[in-house]
Structure 1
Amino acid sequence: MTVISSKSAEEYKKQNYTERMDKKGMPVSPHVMIYSFPVVALSSITVRITGVCLWLGVGGIAAHSLAGGDPALLMASIGDSPVLGPLGKLSVAFPLSYHFLGGVRHAYWDQTPEAVTNEQVEKASYAVAGGSAVLTGIAMFM
Structure 2
Amino acid sequence: MASQRVFQLGLRRAGVPSLTKVHTAGRMVQRRLAATQHVPEAEGQQILAKQRLNRPNSPHLSIYRPQITWYASSLNRITGIVLSGGLYVFGLAYLAAPTLGWHLETQSLVAAVASWPVIAKVAAKMAVSFPFVFHSLNGVRHLSWDVGLGFKNITVMQTGWAVVGLSVAGSLYLSLFA
**TM-based fold match above 0.5:** yes
Q: 2:126 aligns with which of 84, 90, 114?
A: 90
Q: From the superposition, tell whether residues 46 and 14 of structure 1 become closer, same or farther in structure 2 (CA, over 3 Å).
A: closer
Tell me the alpha carbon deviations over residues 27-63 of structure 1, each in whole angstroms, 9 at most, x when there is no partner.
422375x465321021011111101111112112212
Distance between the aligned counterparts of 2:74 and 2:68, measured in 1?
A: 10
Distance between the aligned counterparts of 1:50 and 1:140, measured in 2?
A: 17
Show structure 1 runs of 4+ deviating over 4 A.
9-14
TM norm structure 2: 0.61
Q: From the superposition, tell whether residues 17 and 139 of structure 1 become closer, same or farther in structure 2 (CA, over 3 Å).
A: same
Could you tell me whether the CA contact under 8 Å between 1:94 and 1:132 is conserved in 2? yes
Q: Percent identity?
A: 26
Match of 1:24 in 2: none
In terms of fraction of residues, the more strand-rich structure is 2
Match of 1:3 in 2: 35
Distance between the aligned counterparts of 1:37 and 1:85, measured in 2?
A: 34
Q: Residue 79 of structure 1: CA displacement? A: 5.3
Q: Residue 95 of structure 1: CA displacement? A: 0.5
Q: Residue 78 of structure 1: CA displacement? A: 2.8
In terms of fraction of residues, the more helix-rich structure is 1
TM norm structure 1: 0.75
Match of 2:137 in 1: 101
One-letter identity of the residue aligned with 1:15: K
Distance between the aligned counterparts of 2:107 and 2:154, measured in 1?
A: 44
Output the aligned Cα RMSD.
2.8
Match of 1:48 in 2: 77
Tell me the alpha carbon deviations over residues 96-136 of structure 1, each in whole angstroms, 9 at most, x when there is no partner.
0000001111122223x142122211211111111100001
The one of the two structures with greater contact order (alpha-carbon pairs below 8 A, sep at least 6) is 1
The secondary structure found in structure 1 opposite 2:66 is coil
Which range moves more in the overlay, 66-75 or 88-97? 66-75
Count matched residues: 133
Structure 2 gap segments, 5+ residues each: 1-31, 99-103
Distance between the aligned counterparts of 2:37 and 2:122, measured in 1?
A: 67
